Amino acid sequence: MEASSISHIAFCVRDVEKSLAFYRDVLGMKVTFDQLQDTTSGSLPNVYQHLRQTRRTVHLTFGENPADPFLVMTTHPSENPDGEPIKLDQVGISHFSFTVRDPKALAEELTVKGVRLAGPIDTWMDAQGNIRSFYVYDPDGILIQFDAGVGA
């Protein structure tokens, strides 16, 4: 296989409006697609645990280029999803990560905005007080990592 990049990461949320308030309003992502879809026909019933009638699909990105990776957030109006977010030691996709210019400044900013870090801010600091990487929880408890990039 020759892949050039990851095109998108998809995840299901309980309340799309709460999640949009986090990803769009707090993190500054842009909504590029928002649509209600029928999930009862075509290939979709084959990739669901339970038969769902509809799903709302929202695409979010930081970039301007349509070829940039993006997030696909889904929810199922009038239907409750099952399951709980997983941790790093469980089978499945445990988190996704964004490379940011200044993880420490972002951690401080998100804390002020009321975002729940996955541990006290000082646990992410090295001996010099720098933060190279930290995790937060989104409104559904999904882990999101922010880091200074490879080799930082």
Identify the pLDDT of residue 13. Answer: 95
Spatial strand order of the sheet with 70-75 comes to 8-12, 70-75, 54-61, 30-38
Spatial strand order of the sheet with 95-99 comes to 95-99, 143-147, 133-137
State which H helix or E strand residue 16 sits in.
helix 16-20
Q: How far apart are CA 112 and CA 50, in angstroms?
A: 39
Q: What is the pTM of this model?
A: 0.88
Q: Taking the alpha carbons of 21, 64, 137, 50 in that order, is the dihedral positive or negative?
A: positive
Identify the pLDDT of residue 120. Answer: 93
Identify the pLDDT of residue 35. Answer: 96
Identify the pLDDT of residue 151. Answer: 57
Q: What is the pLDDT of residues 5-39, one digit of tens each?
A: 788 899 999 999 999 999 999 999 999 999 999 98
Q: How far apart are CA 13 and CA 16, in angstroms?
A: 6
Q: How far apart are CA 9 and CA 89, in angstroms?
A: 19
Q: How far apart are CA 54 and CA 20, in angstroms?
A: 19
From residue 81, alpha-carbon distances to 36, 44, 86, 106, 131 in Å are 16, 16, 14, 31, 35
pLDDT tens for the 152 residues of the chain, in order: 887 778 889 999 999 999 999 999 999 999 999 999 998 888 887 888 888 888 999 999 988 887 788 999 999 988 888 888 988 888 888 999 999 999 999 999 999 999 999 999 999 999 999 999 999 999 999 999 999 987 55
The answer to whether 111 touches 121, Cβ cutoff 8 Å, is: yes
Identify the pLDDT of residue 65. Answer: 81
